[in-house]
Homo-oligomer: A and B are copies of this chain.
Amino acid sequence: MEATLSAGTARVGQSSTNTAPHPTSLELPGVFEGALRDFFDSRRELVSNIGGGYEKAVSTLEAFVLRGGKRVRPSFAWTGWLGAGGDPNGSGADAVIRACAALELVQACALVHDDIIDASTTRRGFPTVHVEFEDQHRGEEWSGDSAHFGEAVAILLGDLALAWADDMIRESGISPDAAARVSPVWSAMRTEVLGGQFLDISNEARGDETVEAAMRVNRYKTAAYTIERPLHLGAALFGADAELIDAYRTFGTDIGIAFQLRDDLLGVFGDPSVTGKPSGDDLIAGKRTVLFAMALARADAADPAAAELLRNGIGTQLTDNEVDTLRQVITDLGAVTDVETQIDTLVEAAANALDSSTATAESKARLTDMAIAATKRSY
């Protein structure tokens, strides 16, 4: 649920070199999509040589990547680079755009594989990739199990996106020095997000109800992957000093966690007409959020009847009335106030880290806007 994360705009333009002039005042998502489109074009011949229907399957991946999303991670990376002193009109800006856009291919793998793991059937209003191939298999009356075929193809296309993410950043045109600086960040980011995904399913399976376990998922699956490491990557692309990198990472971690906490609140209290998800979706889906863990901890300490209601309700097909009851229980326990306080504290700490950093004034303003959009009360 990234409805409130805004990507902002880019001004890649007025190149002073003799190459073709950069587009001016384009929205960032469009700029990243252009880079992704070029990358897919660069792979077409290789894929077409392999033949046998591979090209058609890859075109499904391409459509998935190009169809949407707010390009949040590349936007943070780009803004991190700008804030460190990157020149959007300089000759190296295009390479930076390509390197940042490569994050969207990591994200494509994460989404395609996560949708298998979560057994999700739709994303962005379209069937998920595994469901699309399952439907194709069924429609064509092919042999074997349709669901298994869909998952198999989606596993392979997710792998391809992950492999191509590397290809894209490696071929981005950034300098060898920049590539060397980026390398450990790129590595840590992928190791962390896969760790966050593992912790998520493992906590759920083990029935780990602690706030600490839920917070660890927020830290690695959301905060590090969505904001902290993209900003760090941008800083590394430029060659920023350790002080700015520290400030970015603090800002990114705090805002990333605050964003997830806001998302947790929306998942229980959000208006379906705004979130696009059923009322109380996280409760029905059985998501072990920090919000829920905090409510449970308070209930266990002071209100056994409330604890029983929460434990019996989570992960079941709740009616609207039952959702309302659980909302009231969670609110009455003080968990909503707890989470709102945490969000406020995190946003303030993030703002302090950013304000006292050496980031450019323009990027501070933009990052602050992005932070507010990501964490503001909107239900």
Q: Quick check: A109 and B188 within 8 Å, CB to CB?
A: no
Binds B, one of A22-30, A50-58, A300-308: A50-58
Main secondary structure of the interface of A (DSSP, over half): helix
A352 at the interface (CB under 8 A from B): no
Interface status of A365 (Cβ within 8 A of chain B): no
Q: How far is the CB of A290 from chain B (nearest CB, A)?
A: 14
Give chain A's interface residue range (CB within 8 Å of chain B). Answer: 35 or more
Using Cβ atoms and an 8 Å threshold, which residues of chain B touch A142?
205-207
Contact, CB under 8 Å: B187 / A167: yes
Stretch with Cβ within 8 A of B (4 or more), from A190-198, A229-237, A324-332: A190-198
A198 close to B156 (CB less than 8 A): yes
Segment of A83-91, A157-165, A265-273 in the binding face: A157-165
Cβ-closest chain B residue relative to A197: B156
Q: Is A125 an interface residue (CB 8 A)?
A: no
CB of A113 within 8 Å of the partner chain: yes
How many of these chains are in the complex?
2
A144 CB–B CB distance under 8 Å: yes
Partner of A53, one of B43, B187, B199: B199
The residues of B that contact A213 with a CB separation of less than 8 Å are 52
A194 touches B156 (CB 8 A): yes
Most buried by B among A170, A188, A204: A170
Contact B54 A201 (CB under 8 A): no
Contact present for A203 and B46 (CB under 8 Å)? no
Chain B residues with Cβ below 8 Å from A43 are 191
Q: How far is the CA of A158 from the CA of B154 in the complex (A)?
A: 13
| A369 within 8 Å of B (CB atoms) | no
A191 contact set on B, CB distance < 8 A: 43, 46-47, 50, 160, 163-164
Bits for A205-221, please: 1 = Cβ < 8 Å to B, else 0: 11100000100100010
Complex-state Cα separation, A2 to B57, whole angstroms: 29
Contact A198 B159 (CB under 8 A): no
Q: Identify which of B52, B140, B192 contacts A216 (C-beta below 8 A).
A: B52
Q: Which residues of B contact A195 (CB under 8 A)?
A: 47, 50, 52, 54
Q: Are A163 and B47 in contact (CB under 8 A)?
A: no
Add 11 more A-B contacts to A47-B191, A163-B190 (CB < 8 A). Answer: A50-B196, A52-B202, A54-B198, A116-B155, A142-B207, A149-B201, A158-B159, A163-B187, A163-B191, A164-B191, A170-B183
Residues of chain A whose beta carbon lies under 8 Å from any beta carbon of chain B:
43, 46-47, 50-54, 57, 109, 113, 116-117, 119, 137, 140, 142-144, 148-149, 151-153, 155-156, 158-160, 162-164, 166-167, 170-171, 176, 183, 187-188, 190-192, 194-199, 201-207, 213, 216, 220
